[in-house]
């Protein structure tokens, strides 16, 4: 059973006090490029998921507290929650450094993009 602490209002509870919203950091391609998206991109956005055995990043909502969405970095084998962070944020750098596979690629892309826009 997961014991979760809401990073926004501080409410503590088990998994039934929160709503889990699946994979985090899914960017909707139509937001930046509404005309140019392909069927394949739309499929990626809607259905394709990074589904690792190990470190995973997901969304959750504080159902019985403030009602806000936030992000969790969690290990899908040990169930250990490694970090909480905001819905508009990237995970803490030390957690990003542990990310592998699809997650490592995604964060590399996002960090490069963030640097460029600065």
Partner 1 sequence: MLKPRYSIFSLARNAMNYHKDWERAWRSPNPKAEYDAVIVGAGGHGLATAYYLAKNHGMRNIAVVEKGWLGGGNTGRNTTIIRSNYLQDPSIAIYELARSLYEGLSQELNYNMMFSPRGVLMLCQTQHELRAFQRTAHANRLAGLDCRMVTPAEVKQIVPIINDDPNCRYPILGAYYQPRGGTGRHDAVAWGYARGADDMGVDIIQNCEVTGIQREGGKVVGLETTRGVIKTKKVGVVTAGNVSTVMDMAGIRMPIESLCLQALVSEPIKPVIDCVVMANTVHGYMSQSDKGELVIGGGTDPYNNYSQRGSFPALEHTINALIETFPIISRLRMLRQWGGIVDMTGDRSPIIGKTPVDGLFVNCGWGTGGFKAIPGSGWVFADTIANDRPHKIAEAFTMDRFTEGRFIDESVAAAVAH
The site for partner 1 (CB under 8 A) is made up of 1-2, 14-16, 19-20, 22-23, 39-40, 42-44, 46-53, 56, 58, 74, 76-79, 101-102
* Both structure tokens of 40: 């394949």
Identity of the residue, 21 or 65, whose beta carbon is nearer to partner 1 in the bound complex:
21
Contact between 70 and 86 under an 8 Å Cβ cutoff? The reply is yes
**Which residue, 22 or 93, has its beta carbon nearer to partner 1?**
22
Q: How far is CA 99 from CA 19, 102, 115, in A?
A: 24, 8, 19
CB 107 within 8 A of CB 28: no
Give min distance, CB of 73 to partner 1, in A. Answer: 12
As measured in angstroms, the least distance from the Cβ of 61 to partner 1 is 11
Closest CA to 58 of 21, 91, 26: 21
Q: Which is nearer to partner 1, 92 or 101 (CB)?
A: 101
Rounded to a whole number of angstroms, the minimum distance from the CB of residue 78 to partner 1 is 8
Buried-exposed string 9-21: b where 16+ CB fall within 10 A, e elsewhere:
eebebeeebbeeb
Q: Which is nearer to partner 1, 105 or 114 (CB)?
A: 105
Minimum CB–partner distance for residue 63 and partner 1 (Å) = 11
């Amino acid at each position: 059973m997961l014991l979760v602490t809401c990073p926004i209002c501080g409410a503590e509870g088990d998994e039934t006090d929160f709503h889990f919203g699946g994979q985090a950091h899914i960017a909707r391609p139509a937001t930046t490029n509404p005309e140019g998206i392909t069927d394949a991109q739309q499929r990626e956005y809607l259905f394709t998921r990074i589904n690792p055995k190990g470190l995973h990043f997901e969304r959750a909502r504080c159902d019985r507290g403030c009602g806000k969405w936030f992000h969790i970095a969690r290990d899908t084998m040990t169930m250990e929650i490694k970090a909480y962070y905001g819905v508009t944020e990237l995970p803490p750098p030390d957690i990003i450094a542990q990310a592998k596979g699809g997650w490592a690629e995604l964060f590399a892309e996002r960090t490069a993009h963030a640097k460029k826009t600065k």
